[in-house]
Amino acid sequence: MIGQFLPQETRPVPNSPAANANRWNRIRRAACGCAVAALLAAGAATAQITINSKTGAVTNGTTGQTVNTVDRRFQQIEPTRVPLTKTELDAKTRLELIRLLQAEQGFAMRPFPRGHKGLTLQANGKLEPFGEGYLEMVTAEGLSAKPGDRVVLTDVKIDRSRIVFQLNGGPDRKHRLLRHIQIGVGPVMDPVVQQDDQEPVGARLTLAFENHVPELTGAEVKALLAPLISFDVKTPVQAFTDTLPAKLKEAILDHHVLVGMSTEMVLFAKGQPDGKSREVEGQMPFEEWIYGKPPHDVEFVRINGNRVIRLEIAKVGETPVIFTKDEVTGLMRTDGTPLEPAGESNTRIAKVGDVQTNPDTQAPAAPPSLRKPGETGPIGTTPDESDPSGRTGVMRPVQFPKQKPDAQPDANPDAGAQPPASAQPPLPDASQAGPPKPQPPPPAGASQPD
C-alpha cells in the first residue's frame, strides 16, 4: 500500500499537450473578452444609463428622465447609535462574547448575498456595498437568505478591528486535507475523501470598527447588527412583515391582498388557497388562486409569474369588484412614491345582469339589433333628422302572402269543397273532335275488363 500526497492544483509540464491546451484556452478567453468589450462599447455609444447609488434612481443619459428606482431593500441603512467604550477587548471578554454569539439565531432584515466578500457593516455607520453594488452582488452571487428568513451564526471570529460572522455555514467550501490524499496499489489510486460535498449556501457579515474591537457585550453586538439581523422573538409572519413598508405590513396582517404583491406576500396574508387553476388569456399565461367558498366572500387572485396582476372579490347578492392597478411596486421603491395619482381610484365595478342606468349622467342603452356596425337598413330606414339612428322607418301596410294551390287535392280533408278552377283539367275542344284513336293491345297475361 502506497500513500501519495498531491497538491490541489498541478502545473502542466511546458510544451506538453496540457500546457498547449491551457495556452489556447487563454487565447480564446482573451478574444471573447475583447468581443464582449467591443459590444459593450458599442452599446454605451448608443444608450447611456446612470444609476445613483445613494438614492437608487436610474436616469437615462440621453433624455435625463428618471426610468426606475432600485428596491428599497438595497438602499443605505439608518446608522445605529450604540455607545461604545474606548477600552480594547480583553481575552476573557473575547471568549465570553464568542460563547454567547456562537449558534445564535435571528431573522434576516435584508437579502443576504452569497460570495466570499460578503457585506461589511461599520459600527454605528454605513453598509458596504449598497445601492447598485448591493444589487450586483445579489444578482451575481445569488441569495443566501431572503428578508424574514431565519439565519444562524455558525461561526464567529474576532480580529483586531472587526468581527466576522459566518451565516448558515458560510459562503466558502470547507477545506479538508484528506481530499489531497490518495491511497492505492500500483497505478490505481483512490482518494480518501470523495468530492461529493454540497455547494455552500451561506453568507458572510463583517462588523468593522475604527481601530480596535472595544469592550462589548452580547446585547450590544446584537444592537449593532439590528439593521441587518433581528434577534427578537418573533413569528415567521412578524419577521417577514417587519421588513416591509408600514402600509404593506398592515395589509398582510389584516389578511388583505393587494395588486402587485408577490406570491410569498399572498401566502403570508391568506395562506394556501382553496383551489388553483391555470389558464391563458391571449398570449399571457396566468394562475388563478381561489380563496373562500359561497355563501362567504370569494376572492380570485390572478398571478402572472410571481406577482398579483388582478384581484376580484365576489360577494353573494352584489356585483363583483375588480382591482387591476398596482399598489405595491411604488411602496417598494426607494423614494416610496405610489405609482398612481393620489385622487385616482383603483377599483372597477363589473356590472352584471339588468343594470339600472341614471338618465341624468348615463346615455340610454341602444335597442338590440341584428345589423353590423355601420350597416344601413332597407329603403325607408335611412337616418334622418328625426331619427339619427335610422332604426325607425316609414310605416307601410301589412301584405299577406297569396294562397298557393294544394299539390295533392285529395289530401284536403274538406271533401265537399270544389277544387279551384286552375286545378281542374281542361275540357277537350269540340272543333278538334274526331274518331277515337285505336288503343294498343294489352300485354299477354293481363286481365280483360268486363
The pLDDT of residue 54 is 43
Fold entry, domain 246-349: Beta-lactamase Inhibitory Protein; Chain:B, domain 1 (3.30.1450)
pLDDT given for residue 60 in this prediction: 45
Q: How far apart are CA 376 and CA 262, in angstroms?
A: 52
For residue 30, give Cα distances in angstroms to 12, 36, 40, 43.
20, 10, 15, 20
Q: What is the pLDDT of residue 224?
A: 93
For residue 4, which amino acid is it? Answer: Q
pLDDT at 13: 45
At 140 the pLDDT is: 87
Which pLDDT score, from 0 to 100, does residue 166 have? 92
**Angstrom distance (rounded) from CA 439 to CA 94:** 142
- DSSP structure string for 162-230: EEEEEETT-SSPPP-GGGGEEEEETTEEEESS-S-PPPP--EEEEEE-SSS-B---HHHHHHHTTTTEE
pLDDT at 190: 80
pLDDT of residue 222: 92
Count of alpha carbons within 13 angstroms of residue 142, beta-carbon side? 6
Residue ranges of the chain with pLDDT lower than 50?
Answer: 1-15, 17-19, 24, 27-28, 30-49, 51, 53-58, 60-68, 335-336, 338-342, 380, 423, 430
For 361-440, strand residue ranges (E) read none
Contact partners, residue 205, CB within 8 Å, separation at least 6: 112, 118, 119, 120, 121, 164, 165, 167, 225, 228, 229
pLDDT score at 4: 41
Is residue 218 a contact partner of residue 101, using CB atoms and an 8 Å limit?
Answer: yes
Picking from 145, 117, 141, 144, the residue whose alpha carbon sits closest to that of residue 129 is: 117
Residue 152 confidence (pLDDT):
92
Separation between Cα atoms, residue 273 and residue 286, nearest integer Å: 15
Residue 337's contacts (CB-CB under 8 Å, 6 or more residues apart) are 330
Run of H or E residues at 300: strand 298-304
* Domain spans, the chain: 11-69, 72-173+197-237, 246-349
